[in-house]
Amino acid sequence: MKMPRRSPFLLAAIAALSLIIAPIFGRLHSRSQEVEQKQNRPWTDTRLSADERADLVLKEMTLDEKIDLVHGNGMPGWGKPRPNAHLGNGGAGFVLGVARLGIPIIQMSDAAYGVRSSGENGRYSTALPSNVASAASWDVHAACEYGELIGRELRAQGYNMTLGGGANITREPRNGRTFEYMGEDPILAGTLVGNRMKCEQAQHVIGDMKHYAVNDQESGRNEVDSIISKRALRESDLLAFEIGIGISNPGAVMCSYNALNGDYACENKYLLTDVLKKAWGFKGFVVSDWAGTHSTVKASAAGLDNEQPFDQFFGEKLKEAVKAGKVSAAELDDHVHRVLRAEFASGIIDYPAQKGVVDVEGGFETARRLAEQSTVLLKNSNGVLPLDRTKVHSIAIIGAHADMGMISGGGSAQVDPPGRAGAKWQEHVWFPTSPLKAVSARIPGASVQFDSGANRESAAELAKKSDVAIVFAHQWTSEGMDLPNLSLPDSQDGLIEAVAAANPSTVVVLETGTAVTMPWLEKVSGVMEAWYAGSKGADAVANLLFGDVNPSAKLPMTFPRSEADVPHPQVAAPAPGAKGVGEGMRPGDAKPTFSVHYDEGVKVGYKWYDAENKPVLFPFGYGLSYTTYSYSGLKVTPGKETTLTFTVKNTGSRAGAEIAEVYAALPASAGEPPKRLVGWSKMRLNSGESREVSLTIDPKYLSIFDESTDGWKLVPGEYSFMVGGSSQALPLNEKVMLK
Ligand code: BGC
């Protein structure tokens, strides 16, 4: 058939018109799809609030679908895999979605200092410095970067929920999980964990804070009853959670294994409903620690929303309880609403996780920078540090594995190192960040030699013929164990003594999860606390040793002189026959078998040592720099919110970052320990530069918790405000009356 002839002009005009019209039609078409979806699935409308969207979904759900949202589906390696195990992503647990309504599966992964089990799942994640290390930076921006990195890497590995966010304060420094938490002060810990979680959740993963609450020792953790007064709880352990939750609104809070004042945390109405949901207005869901659920009706009524990783109590049994009217439909709906709300609020529905490749180099860079800000210089005498490249010609690097790696923290926090199979439970894992290589690279031409320290004599010999000896000492800790004491293990104290005797220019770099005692302290010239320093720990430490970076971190926990000085000279021992960690679940009607009495109450960490007049090895808030700072001009202006101004000056010859700490002493009638941290400010100052700092103190931080009225109250009277660079170096002091 012959086509009618059209003028070229007409053809061009039609083509041009179609170019204009096509996108309009396209847009109209996709808009009509959108409208149709909004009509069928009104919860996809992002203009609605997370609560409204959750309610719209809830209305459509069957009883079975609701039950699916409130329990787990097993954990790889724990018991027999479920028929639906293939739906998991290799993480600690998952919650089924409702595919017909467009609700995704919640894929959870542990992620304390990085995404767990990556090696095991054929993937890779960055290990950041441990959580207690990150607290030593006292830096909310660093905390945010920490969370952002983990959030990104979770999503790249197909997870949309983190199980990070440890917020237990350090009541018991021998607790094997101290490295997963943020130190001993509730305001410091709460502020940092809150900023970390806010930024992690902003990557569109459901955030989490754990272990709620007072799970402060691992020994017998599934059977222990933590006994503590309400006042001490609210002013210390719970305050850290309150602040962190207030800053980040996490999608979830994980209730802990232990009991608290008689009731297991995951069925403790006071903890879950009265405080968390009512007093603090928490809108997310409470997820049980793994197999930390003990009942159906009691736990549900107390405020547990989601059982993990199984369905022993919140599966069939909960369904039956709802049918029998033992758990009301409204109560179940509240659990489901909270789970759905967290999914909408975090954005995992609007921005589904896409698997991708982790930015390895970017992660290294962040890990190194954060480690530099987290490593605390504890001692520097005889001008040993920073190492002077013009004077030092030979360096001895001593310590087990110091030629190839640095130790990391174990348990469910464990991040797998690259290039090898996943770590086994409680395996000691060394990250391939080599102190020997990092130090050598920074001093070309010098002789840098290694000795493992296995033979003290040979280590001492090497130290003797070197200008400087650097001992890398380690203390491995993990979930599922407490330390017998705070000594360095494996006779490392003796090794350090021998090396220091051979060469007084000895520097000890500590790779520890918590405080350690230092019987050799007087004999060495330098000490650096590098904690578990992460993927690029060795580079960070080397940069600090040579002064390429000026140390700025300060201790987020006290280093006591000996275990005899801590509130409980012995860790409370489990009853004979108590089950160990992971040894199966306790039956539903089980009672705790032993207690730990936290009679020291609010006197946690430095508050204890202050109140008891016990000298310490290194105080809370302590940390040296290669420069010096002076403090002056404190003015306190009382008011509804008390404000302080003061000036900090860098009086040394190097640029640095100073953390200025503010403490308050309450009136004697408040019955509080001598002082508490109420604020701080971290600033960079060039040599000679000064800065006027202005801080407003949250009135709650100056208040006490009054059990008789179940509320916070400011005790009228005279308050002292003290400012300085450590809890025991506070040159500025001003008293004011507060009403
Ligand atoms: C730990 C939790 C962890 C969970 C899942 C438990 O043993 O206490 O912190 O999130 O396991 O791995």
Q: How far is the CA of 554 from the centre of ligand 1 (A)?
A: 29
Q: Can you say how many angstroms the Cα of residue 449 is from the centroid of all Cα atoms in its chain?
A: 36
What does the alpha-carbon distance between residue 697 and residue 685 come to, in Å, rounded to a whole number?
23
What does the alpha-carbon distance between residue 508 and residue 623 come to, in Å, rounded to a whole number?
15
CA distances 583 to 290, 457, 579, 587, 660, Å, are 12, 43, 6, 12, 46
Predicted local confidence at residue 6, as pLDDT: 45
Question: Strands 252-255 and 704-706: what pairing?
Answer: unpaired
Beta strands in 506-550 (DSSP E): 506-511, 526-529
Tracing tokens 């164990």 back to the chain, one arrives at 481
How does DSSP classify residue 166? B
Q: How far is the CA of 72 from the centre of ligand 1 (A)?
A: 13
In this structure, which amino acid lies at residue 528? M
Roughly what angle, to the nearest 10 degrees, separates helices 329-346 and 50-60?
130
What does the alpha-carbon distance between residue 501 and residue 499 come to, in Å, rounded to a whole number?
5
Atom number of ligand 1 nearest to Cα 412: 12
> Is 332 touching ligand 1 by the criterion CB < 6 Å?
no
For residues 400 and 456, the answer to whether their CB atoms sit within 8 Å is no
Alpha-helix runs per DSSP H in 99-237: 131-135, 140-156, 186-201, 230-232
How does DSSP classify residue 315? S
What does the alpha-carbon distance between residue 464 and residue 459 come to, in Å, rounded to a whole number?
9
Helix (H, G, I), strand (E, B) or coil at 677: strand
For residues 94 and 73, the answer to whether their CB atoms sit within 8 Å is yes
**Which of 162, 206, 219, 289 has most ligand 1 atoms within 8 Å of CB, for mutation?**
289
Structure tokens at 133: 């290390």
Burial 169-191 (b: 16+ CB within 10 A, else e): bbbbbbbbbbbbbbbbbbbbbbb
Atom number of ligand 1 nearest to Cα 163: 10
> Is 208 touching ligand 1 by the criterion CB < 6 Å?
no
What is the dihedral sign for C-alpha 587, 588, 589, 590? Answer: positive
What does the alpha-carbon distance between residue 486 and residue 95 come to, in Å, rounded to a whole number?
40
Q: How far is the CA of 529 from the centre of ligand 1 (A)?
A: 27
CA distances 344 to 40, 61, 102, 153, 312, Å, are 17, 16, 12, 20, 27
> Is 209 touching ligand 1 by the criterion CB < 6 Å?
no
What does the alpha-carbon distance between residue 247 and residue 384 come to, in Å, rounded to a whole number?
42
Atom number of ligand 1 nearest to Cα 116: 12
What does the alpha-carbon distance between residue 449 and residue 472 come to, in Å, rounded to a whole number?
13
> Is 539 touching ligand 1 by the criterion CB < 6 Å?
no
For residues 251 and 201, the answer to whether their CB atoms sit within 8 Å is yes
For residues 285 and 344, the answer to whether their CB atoms sit within 8 Å is no
What does the alpha-carbon distance between residue 221 and residue 491 come to, in Å, rounded to a whole number?
29
**Is the overall model pTM greater than 0.85, yes or no?**
yes
Q: How far is the CA of 268 from the centre of ligand 1 (A)?
A: 19
CB atoms within 10 A of CB 398: 31
Note if the bond before 81 is cis, omega within 30 degrees: no
What is the dihedral sign for C-alpha 109, 113, 119, 123? Answer: positive
Residues of the chain with pLDDT below 50 are 1-6, 8-12, 14-15, 19, 25
Predicted local confidence at residue 584, as pLDDT: 55
Radius of gyration of the chain (CA): 28
What does the alpha-carbon distance between residue 534 and residue 374 come to, in Å, rounded to a whole number?
11
Beta strands in 468-605 (DSSP E): 468-474, 506-511, 526-529, 559-560, 594-597
What does the alpha-carbon distance between residue 471 and residue 399 come to, in Å, rounded to a whole number?
6
Atom number of ligand 1 nearest to Cα 211: 9
Residue of 418, 451, 430, 444 lying closest to 542 (CA atoms)? 444
Q: How far is the CA of 115 from the centre of ligand 1 (A)?
A: 13
Q: Can you say how many angstroms the Cα of residue 675 is from the centroid of all Cα atoms in its chain?
A: 25
Roughly what angle, to the nearest 10 degrees, separates helices 360-374 and 537-545?
40
Predicted local confidence at residue 421, as pLDDT: 83
For residues 91 and 107, the answer to whether their CB atoms sit within 8 Å is yes
Question: Strands 711-713 and 690-697: what pairing?
Answer: unpaired
For residues 685 and 691, the answer to whether their CB atoms sit within 8 Å is yes
What does the alpha-carbon distance between residue 481 and residue 220 come to, in Å, rounded to a whole number?
9
Residue of 570, 569, 552, 606 lying closest to 186 (CA atoms)? 606
**Which of 290, 308, 425 has most ligand 1 atoms within 8 Å of CB, for mutation?**
290
> Is 256 touching ligand 1 by the criterion CB < 6 Å?
no
Q: Which residue's CA is the closest to the ligand 1 atom numbered 8?
A: 289
In this structure, which amino acid lies at residue 243? I
Q: What are phi and psi of 433, to 5 degrees?
A: -125, 105
Atom number of ligand 1 nearest to Cα 309: 5
> Is 308 touching ligand 1 by the criterion CB < 6 Å?
no
Q: Can you say how many angstroms the Cα of residue 589 is from the centroid of all Cα atoms in its chain?
A: 32
Atom number of ligand 1 nearest to Cα 166: 9
The per-residue pLDDT for range 60-116, each reduced to its tens digit, is: 999 999 999 999 999 999 989 999 999 999 999 999 999 999 999 999 999 999 999
> Is 412 touching ligand 1 by the criterion CB < 6 Å?
yes
Query: Catalytic positions, please?
Result: 289
Atom number of ligand 1 nearest to Cα 210: 9
For residues 662 and 683, the answer to whether their CB atoms sit within 8 Å is no
Helix (H, G, I), strand (E, B) or coil at 272: helix
Beta strands in 41-130 (DSSP E): 93-95, 106-109
**Which of 108, 110, 310 has most ligand 1 atoms within 8 Å of CB, for mutation?**
110
CB atoms within 10 A of CB 677: 22
Interacting residues of 14 by C-beta distance below 8 A, sequence separation 6+? none
Residue of 279, 214, 268 lying closest to 246 (CA atoms)? 279
> Is 109 touching ligand 1 by the criterion CB < 6 Å?
no
What is the 3 state secondary structure string of 239-270? HHHHHHHHHHCCCEEEECCCEECCEEHHHCHH
Q: How far is the CA of 544 from the centre of ligand 1 (A)?
A: 34
Q: How far is the CA of 92 from the centre of ligand 1 (A)?
A: 8
> Is 92 touching ligand 1 by the criterion CB < 6 Å?
yes
> Is 379 touching ligand 1 by the criterion CB < 6 Å?
no
For residues 608 and 567, the answer to whether their CB atoms sit within 8 Å is yes
Q: How far is the CA of 290 from the centre of ligand 1 (A)?
A: 6
